Amino acid sequence: QVQLVESGGGLVKPGGSLRLSCAASGFTFSDYYMSWIRQAPGKGLEWVSYISSSGSTIYYADSVKGRFTISRDNAKNSLYLQMNSLRAEDTAVYYCARENSYYGSGTHYLWFDPWGQGTLVTVSS
Amino acid sequence: EIVLTQSPGTLSLSPGERATLSCRASQSVSSSYLAWYQQKPGQAPRLLIYGASSRATGIPDRFSGSGSGTDFTLTISRLEPEDFAVYYCQQLRAFGQGTKVEIK
């Protein structure tokens, strides 16, 4: 079945670095855009970054631009998020999600499905 | 930047009642980019509705979505015990702040 499994979360000090991974299975990974979305404790969802299917197009939320780097390895069916200069406000559960994008009747549709189970990143001294 | 505002923040209802959740965009958006998700404690969000009104695979028909322009609605016709959760709307890569549906 279609599945996304994140790993790499943990406790890190402010200013530190962490690399998250997302392993995909059950679908042709190289056909899809992928996103990282985070959720601070008790808060809502915040989109963080996306990468195109080939990796040639990348966007970041302003809150992480210049500190986070998204990448993918289509041969390994894997998505990554390198997080540097971490701050307390980066504390969150980080989800990877597949972007579903298709054109129907001349209209472009976009939604996120599936999502991984999430990995917790805690930034604290 | 489009801002999505969901209301109410919390909806207190009893099983069997109808739930109506609102998502308002700060400017007109394409309904094809409007989706709804359900999230239960400790779980990842689950897709319910995409394209404003199309149910995702396996989603019961008590869930329905509607709307256009700046105003969108998720309706749960008769609440089941498993429907008490937080619901988020999404437009492209922006999310609303969520509506919690709790048991009254």
pLDDT of residue B20 exceeding 90, the answer is: yes
> pLDDT band for position A103 (50/70/90)?
confident
* Portion 10-69 of A in contact with B at CB < 8 A: 35, 37, 44-47, 50, 59
* Count, residues in chain A: 125
Are A92 and A40 in contact by the 8 Å Cβ rule? The answer is yes
pLDDT band at B79 (very low <50, low <70, confident <90, very high): very high
Q: Could you tell me if B60 lies within 8 Å of chain A, comparing CB atoms?
A: no
Q: What is the average pLDDT value for chain B, to the nearest integer? A: 97
pLDDT at residue A105 in the model: 81
Residues 6+ away with beta carbon under 8 Å from A53: A30, A31, A32, A33, A74
Q: Does A107 touch chain B (CB under 8 A)?
A: yes
8 Å CB contact of A113 and B95: no
Collect all residues of chain B within an 8 Å Cβ-Cβ radius of residue A58.
Answer: none
What pLDDT, on the 0 to 100 scale, is given for residue B31?
A: 94
- C-alpha dihedral (B61, A110, B47, A62), degrees to nearest 10: -150
- pLDDT higher than threshold 90 for residue A45: yes
CB count within 10 Å of CB B62 equals 15
Q: Is A66 exposed, middle or buried (0-12, 13-18, 19+ CB in 10 A)?
A: exposed
